[in-house]
Amino acid sequence: AAAAIRKTTIQQSEVKTPHGTITISSKIGVDVGQVQWGIITNPQINRATYYFRGPAIDGCSQAEHQANRGDLVISAAVQTAVSPHIITIPVGSYFKVTNIQETLFSPPVSHMPDFAPFTELAAHYYPANIIHQSHFGEFRQVINVFISLKGNPTDTELNQLMQIVFTAQETYGGLLNRIDFGDKGCNLLLFWGAPTAYENDITRALNFLLELQNKTPIPLRAAVTYTIAYAGFIGSDLREEYTCYGRGINLAARFLMAANWGQIWVDSAIAQRVQSRFSVEFIDHLALKGFSTPQAAFILGKHQTQTTQPLFRGMMVGRAAEMAQLHTAVQPLYNGRFGGVITIIGEAGIGKSRLIHEFFQTLTESAQTSLRIFHCLTDEIIRQSLNPFRYFLRRYFNQHPDNTDADNKQAFTAVLKTLIAASTNHPDGESLINELNRTHSFLGALIDLHWPDSLYAQLDPRLRFENTLRALKTLLLAESVKAPFILKLEDSQWLDQDSRTFLLELSRHVDNYPFLIIASTRPLPPTDTFFTQQLSPQSTIHLTELGPDHVQQLAENLLGGPISQSLYRQIMQRANGNPFFAEQIVLYLKEQARITQSPSGWTLLNSKMDAPLPADLRTILVARLDRLTQSVREVVQTASVLGREFPLRLLMAMLSDDEQVLGKVETAVHAAIWTALSELSYLFKHGLMRDAAYEMQLYNQRRQLHQIAAASLEMLHADDLSPHYADLAYHYEQGSVVDKAHTYLIMAANAAQEAYQNHQALNLYERALRLTLPDDLSTRFELLAAMEEINAMLGNRTRQQDILTTISQLADKLVDPIYAVRVALRRSHLAESTSQFEQAAAAAKEVIALAQNRLEGSSSDQYVALGEIALGQALMRQGSYEVTAVRLNKAVSILDKINAVQEAADGRKALASIYVFLGEYTQAERQFETALAGFRQIGNRLGEATVIERMGVTARMQAKLDIAIPLFRQAIVLHEEIGNRHGEGMSRLHLGAVQQVQGNVPAARIAYERAIIIFREIGNKVGESAALNGIGWAARDIGNFAVSEEAFHHALAIQRASDDRFGEGVTIANLCAVAYFQGNMEQGRTSAQEAIAIQNRVNDVRGRGMTFVYLGAIELTAGNLTAAKAAFRQANHDFEQLKQKQHNVEALSGLARVAVAEYDFTNAKAYAESILTYLETNPLLYGTVYPFWVWMGCYQALTAVNDPRSQILLKTTYDRLQKRASHFTDQSERISYLTKVPYHREVIAAYEKDGRST
C-alpha cells in the first residue's frame, strides 16, 4: 500500500490548475507492532469518538521523520518481516526502500456496508447535517483548533478529558475531527465554521479552549487560526471523512509545536477580531516551514475584564435620532427611578452594538451622574439556565478560571461584603442586606461556587430556582441603590426561557430603583412578539439601513478624506446601506492596497470591485436572503430545490401561475443571489446561498416544491423522460410521492445498469428497495436479484452472499418455482467464483432437478441447460474434463433449439475452454468464435471480453504468442471498462504468463502482481493461487528460490483449503522444479511423485507431462538413466496425445540428453533432428516452459556427433539468453537470472568453453 501511495504521488506529482501548477509529494513511514483502539462515548448527550494508539503508530511517525521527499522508510521490524521482497538501504536505525521485488501479501479489502441502517449509530460521531449532506464539499471560513496534551494520557485520563470536551461542545459547538496519537503525543483537531457556521464562531472556539484548559487536569497547549478552507468529504466509498483543508491547518500545526505548555497561540486573523474581548499578546513574526513569509503569532490570555465594550473605528453616522431616544430613556435614572426597558431591533451588522457603545461613551463624558454598565452576553448555543447573567456575575465577582476555588470564593466574598456595606444607608438597606446574606450561596452556585452546608445545598430544585431569581434580583437592586446602572442584554433573541422569566421578575415593583434595561435583538417575523413587550415601561428603536450620504460619510471618516463617486457607488452597491458591511469593505480595500488617493479622492485602482469580500462577511452573506421581499424569496427558495445550477424553463414551469417570475429572477440577479450562465440557465453565486435557501424552508414546503419540480419535468419532457429518470426519482423521493418515486427509481436503476453505471445502479436499486412494500415479494426479489448481479460483477462477495440469503427466503414464500431455480443458479455461480467447487456443483444439480421436476416448456429446457453449464464449470475445476464436455455439448444443443443466444454463447465459451484443456485447439477456436459472435449479437460486453481473453489463452497454448498478447490486452481494456475485476485479473494473469514465456520476466512479474491484488480484493482464491504460482515461477526464473517457494506454498495452502485439486497438482509440480533447481533431488523426486498422483486423479495430462519432464531431469542429474528415460518417454507420450509439440520438445530434449549419457549417438541425433524440425516453425520456442533446456539438449546431442550446427545453435542460444537478461533493469536480478538457474548456467558454461570462437 505504501509503495502504491508513493507511486501514485510520483506519477501525479504535478497538478495543473487555472492558478498554476501545484507540486505534490509524499514522505511515508511504515512500522509494524501493537496498536490499541478505543471508543469514548457520552450516551447522555449522544456523542462519541474513537482513537488509535500504540508503538506501531509512533514507529510510523519516527520512520517518516527519517524520510526525505518521495521516500518510503520502514522500521527494522518491517525490514525483518519483508526483507525477501524488497531492497533497502539503511537510514540510521531505519531503512529506505529502493525497490520492491515481489508483491507483499495483504488481506482482502473490506467492502462498504449499506450505510442506511447505521444512521443512528453515526449520529453519535457526526452532526446530522454531515450524515445527510448531499453535496461533496464547499469553501468556508473555518476556525482551526489544534490541541496537544502533555505526556501520554492513560485511557482513563483520555476518557475524562473527552467527557469535558463533549460537554463543552454542547455549549460552544465545534466539530471534533479526530484524536491523533503519534510521535508528537496526543493531539485533538477541531473545527468551527463547518459544517455549520455562526457569526460568533471565533468567540465560541476560544471560550471552548479556555473552559477546557480550566477543567482538565492534563496540561495542554493549543493553536487557533482563521482562514478560508475546503470543508467537505474526502476519500472513497470505503473510507470517507468530513474534514477541512487549508493553509490555516498547517499554520495551526506549526504554532502548536512552537507553543509552550499552558499557552494558546492564535494567528493575526484571530487576534484582530478578539482583542476587545480577550487579552492577546504579540509574540513575534516567525519563520515557519511551509510559509514563504514570517507569520505573526499571538498568545491568548484571559477574558478582558477591564473593558467589555467593543472597539469601533471612526465616527458613528446617521443615528442622531436614535441617540436622542436613548438619552430620553435614561433620564429617569438620574431621578432615582426605574428607566424601564428599551429594545433596539435591527439586522446583523446594522449598527445595534455601535449605537449602544456610542451611547455609553456619551454617558461617560456627561457631566451628570456617571452610570455603570453591566454586560449580559447571550449566545444562541449557550442554553444554560440564566446564562447571560452568569456571564455578568463572573465578571462582577472577579472570577477567573485560572484561580483556585478558594481564591474565587475569597473574591466573591469580598465583593459581596462591599455591596452589603454600601447598602446600609438606603431605606430598604436592611432587607437587602439580609436577603443578600441569606441567598449568597445561590449567587455563588450561578458561578459554580458551592458550600457543603449552604442553604442552596439543602433545598430541592424548585426552591433553588426561586431563591436564585430572588438572589439575583436582590443583588441588582442593591447595586442600583449603590449607584444607577444600565443592564445591557446583547443578542436578546437568543435568551433562554429562565432569563426571560427573571427579567419579568426583575421589572416588577422596582419603580424606586434607578436602572435601565437595554436589549438588542434581530428582527422577528411580524406575527411574533418580542418578550420585552411584556415589560413595562418599554420602548423600541428600529434601526434601518444608512442613507447614501451617511454611507459616504462613514467611508470618508474611515479613510480620513473624501472618496470618489466611483468608489462610493461600489461601496453603496455592495454594502446595501449596512454600516458594518460598508466599514469592512472599506477597510479590506485599504488593507489590500486596492484603493489609492487621486484628485477626486480615494478611488479604486480598478474600475470595478470584483475581488472576494472580506472573510468576516462570508458568514453573514447567507442572511441576505431574509432581506429579499417575500415574493422574490419564494422564487429563490423554489429554485433551490433544483440545485445550484437550474434551468430557467423548469423554474418558470414550477411558477407558471406567477406572471412576474422573470422580473423576480432578475431581481435576484441584481441582489447577487445568482448569476445568469446563459439565457436558459442560472447559477447560485454561492453554494452556501443555495443551501441556506433550501434548508430555511419547512419540510412540508420543500416536499411540495419537489413535487412541483417533478410534475414540471414530466410536462416539459413528456416526449422522452428517460434522460430524466434519476431527476424525477429524486424529486418524487424528496416530495414523498412514494409510488412515482418507486417507479422512476427502478427505471433509472435499470437504465444505469444497462449503461454499466454499476455504482449508480446499486444506489438507485437500494433506494427503490426502501420504498417497496414489505408484502410486494416479487418486486423485492427482482430488485435484490439485480443488485446481486451487480455486486457479483464488482466482486463484492460478502454483499452478494447477503443478498442471496435474502432472496432465497423470498423464493420460499413465492409460489412460482422459477424463483427458487434462479436462486440456486446464482448460488452455484457465487460458489464457483469463490472456489467452493463442491458447493457450486451441488447448487447446479439443484437447478437441474428443480427445472426438470417443477418447470415446463422452454423455461424447463432453458434452466436445465443453464444448470448443466454451471455443473460443467464446477466439474471442470475439479478435473472431470470429458464428463464436462459431454454435459456442455448437451447444454448448447438445448439452448440452440430454443434460440437462447446469451445462454448458448455462455455454454460454448465453457465448452471451448474444456477443449483447450484437452488439447483440441481447433474445436476450441471454433466454439470461441461462435460464442463471440453470439455475445456481440446481443451486445454482451462481459461475454465478449471473456471470450477474447480465452481466445488469448488458446493462442498461448499453441505458442501463438504474438496473437495472444494483443488479445489479452484487448480483454483487459474491456474488463476495466465494465468493472469486471475477476476478468481483468485473469487477463493480467495470462498476459504475465505469455510475457514470461517470451523471456520478459520483469514485465511478467508486474502483470502477476496486479492480478494478485485484484484477486485478493474480490476474494477469488483460484485466481489468487494462480497468480501466486506466477509470482513463484518468475522468482524461480531469476534464482530467487526462497521467494519462489514461499509463493508456491502459499498457493498450495489456498488450493487445499478450497479443494482445488487441479491447481494443487500444478503447484506441487512447480515445487518439484524449485527443488531440482536448488539441487535437492530427493525433495524434487518426492514432489514429482505427489504431483503425478494428483494429476492422474484429475486427468491433467499436460500437467503430468511437465512433471515427468521435471522428474526425468532429476533422475538424469542423479545418474539414474533408466528412470530418467522412462520419465521422459512418459512425458513424450502425454504431449503427443495432446498434440502439444511446444511441450513435447522438452521431453525430446531429455531423451536426447539420456542418449548422449548412454553413448547412444544414433538416437541422440534422431532426437536432435526432431527438435530442429520443430524449431523451423517455432524458433523461439513460444509456449515451451523451459526453452533453454530444449536448445541445450539439442546442442549436446549435435556436439556428441560432431555436427557443426551445434556451434550455430550455441551462439544463437547464448544471444537469446543475453537478450532476455536485458529486460532486467536491476543489475543484481540480471546476474541472478544468468547464474542461479541451471539451464542458464549451462548455456554460459558451454559458450565460455566452446562458443567464443564462433
pLDDT digits (tens, 9 = 90+) for 1009-1049: 999 998 887 778 889 999 999 999 999 989 999 999 999 99
Q: Is 1028 exposed, middle or buried (0-12, 13-18, 19+ CB in 10 A)?
A: buried
Q: Rounded mean pLDDT of 1196-1211?
A: 94
Confidence bin at 311 (pLDDT 50/70/90): very low
**Omega of the bond leading into 90 within 30 degrees of 0 (cis):** no
Q: Is 44 helix (H, G, I), strand (E, B) or coil?
A: helix
Segment 563-596, tens digit of pLDDT? 888 888 888 877 778 887 787 677 667 756 778 8
Q: What is the rounded CA–CA span in Å between residue 514 and residue 506?
A: 12
The total of other beta-carbon atoms located within 10 Å of residue 1101's CB is 19
Segment 415-466, tens digit of pLDDT? 999 899 888 888 888 889 998 998 999 999 988 899 988 888 887 666 777 8
Segment 887-897, tens digit of pLDDT? 899 999 999 98
Residue 916 has pLDDT above 90, yes or no: no
Q: What is the pLDDT of residue 1113?
A: 96
Residue 685 has pLDDT above 70, yes or no: no
Q: What is the pLDDT of residue 194?
A: 83
Q: What is the pLDDT of residue 755?
A: 61
Q: How far is CA 685 from CA 688, 690, 777, 876, 880, in A?
A: 9, 8, 47, 63, 68
Q: What is the pLDDT of residue 779?
A: 96
Q: Which of 160-164, 573-577, 816-820, 937-941 has the lowest mean pLDDT?
A: 573-577
Q: Where are the alpha helices (DSSP H) in 216-319?
A: 247-258, 268-274
Residue 834 has pLDDT above 60, yes or no: yes
By the 8 A CB rule, do 551 and 557 touch?
A: no
CA 108 distance to own-chain centroid: 18
Q: What is the pLDDT of residue 115?
A: 53
Amino acid code (one letter) for 325: Q
Please give the share of the chain, as a percent, with pLDDT higher than 70: 91
Segment 391-407, tens digit of pLDDT? 889 889 988 755 788 98
Q: Which of 567-581, 670-684, 1181-1195: highest mean pLDDT? A: 1181-1195
Segment 624-670, tens digit of pLDDT? 565 677 788 899 999 999 987 788 999 999 999 888 998 899 988 88
What nine digits make up the cell of 258?
A: 512552537
Q: Which long-range contacts (CB under 8 A, 24 or more apart) does 869-873 make?
A: 869/903, 869/906, 869/907, 869/910, 870/825, 870/828, 870/829, 870/832, 870/840, 870/843, 870/844, 871/828, 871/841, 871/844, 871/845, 872/910, 872/911, 872/914, 873/832, 873/840, 873/844, 873/910
Gap between the terminal Cα atoms of the chain = 50
Q: Rounded mean pLDDT of 957-961?
A: 81
Closest CA to 1073 of 1048, 1099, 1101, 1054: 1048
Residue 1253 has pLDDT above 60, yes or no: no
Q: What is the rounded CA–CA span in Å between residue 865 and residue 1228?
A: 55
Q: What is the pLDDT of residue 613?
A: 44
What nine digits make up the cell of 57?
A: 503508530
Regarding predicted confidence, which is higher, 78 or 465?
78
Q: Which of 146-160, 908-922, 1212-1226 has the lowest mean pLDDT?
A: 908-922
Q: What is the rounded CA–CA span in Å between residue 1095 and residue 1084?
A: 16
Q: Which residue has the cell 447573567?
A: 389
Q: What is the rounded CA–CA span in Å between residue 895 and residue 907?
A: 9
Contacts of 507 (CB under 8 A, 6+ apart): 338, 340, 341, 517, 535, 536
By the 8 A CB rule, do 927 and 908 touch?
A: yes
DSSP codes joined into one string, 745-764:
HHHHHHHHHHTT-HHHHHHH
Q: What is the rounded CA–CA span in Å between residue 766 and residue 745?
A: 9
Q: What is the pLDDT of residue 611?
A: 47
Q: What is the dihedral of CA 836, 839, 840, 842, to 10 degrees?
A: 160
Q: What is the pLDDT of residue 623?
A: 45
Confidence bin at 932 (pLDDT 50/70/90): very high
**Omega of the bond leading into 537 within 30 degrees of 0 (cis):** yes
Q: What is the rounded CA–CA span in Å between residue 1015 and residue 1023?
A: 6
The residues facing 23 across adjacent strands are 14
By the 8 A CB rule, do 1213 and 1191 touch?
A: yes
Q: What is the pLDDT of residue 147?
A: 95
For 806, what's the count of Cα atoms within 13 Å in the CB-facing half-sphere? Answer: 19
Regarding predicted confidence, which is higher, 791 or 1017?
791
By the 8 A CB rule, do 564 and 600 touch?
A: yes
Segment 807-833, tens digit of pLDDT? 999 999 999 999 999 999 999 999 998
Q: Which long-range contacts (CB under 8 A, 24 or more apart) does 396-402 make?
A: 397/443, 397/447, 398/305, 399/447, 400/302, 400/305, 401/210, 401/211, 401/213, 401/214, 401/215, 402/214, 402/302
Q: Rounded mean pLDDT of 251-270?
A: 91
Q: Which of 281-295, 379-393, 998-1012: highest mean pLDDT? A: 998-1012
Backbone angles phi, psi at 820, to 5 degrees: -65, -40
Average of per-residue pLDDT values in the chain: 86
Closest CA to 541 of 347, 344, 325, 354: 344
Task: Please give the biggest Cα pair distance in the chain.
Answer: 141
Q: What is the pLDDT of residue 117?
A: 56
Segment 841-885, tens digit of pLDDT? 999 999 999 999 999 988 899 999 999 989 988 888 787 888 889
Confidence bin at 134 (pLDDT 50/70/90): low
DSSP codes joined into one string, 889-925:
HHHHHHHHHTT-HHHHHHHHHHHHHHHHHTT-HHHHH
Amino acid code (one letter) for 40: I
Residue 695 has pLDDT above 90, yes or no: no
Q: What is the pLDDT of residue 1045?
A: 95
Backbone angles phi, psi at 73, to 5 degrees: -115, 135
Q: Rounded mean pLDDT of 235-245?
A: 81
Confidence bin at 305 (pLDDT 50/70/90): very low
Q: What is the pLDDT of residue 791?
A: 92
Dihedral sign, CA of 752, 754, 759, 765?
positive
Q: Which of 456-470, 910-924, 1166-1180 has the lowest mean pLDDT?
A: 456-470
For 491, what's the count of Cα atoms within 13 Å in the CB-facing half-sphere? Answer: 15
Please give the share of the chain, as a percent, with pLDDT higher than 90: 45
Q: What is the pLDDT of residue 769?
A: 96
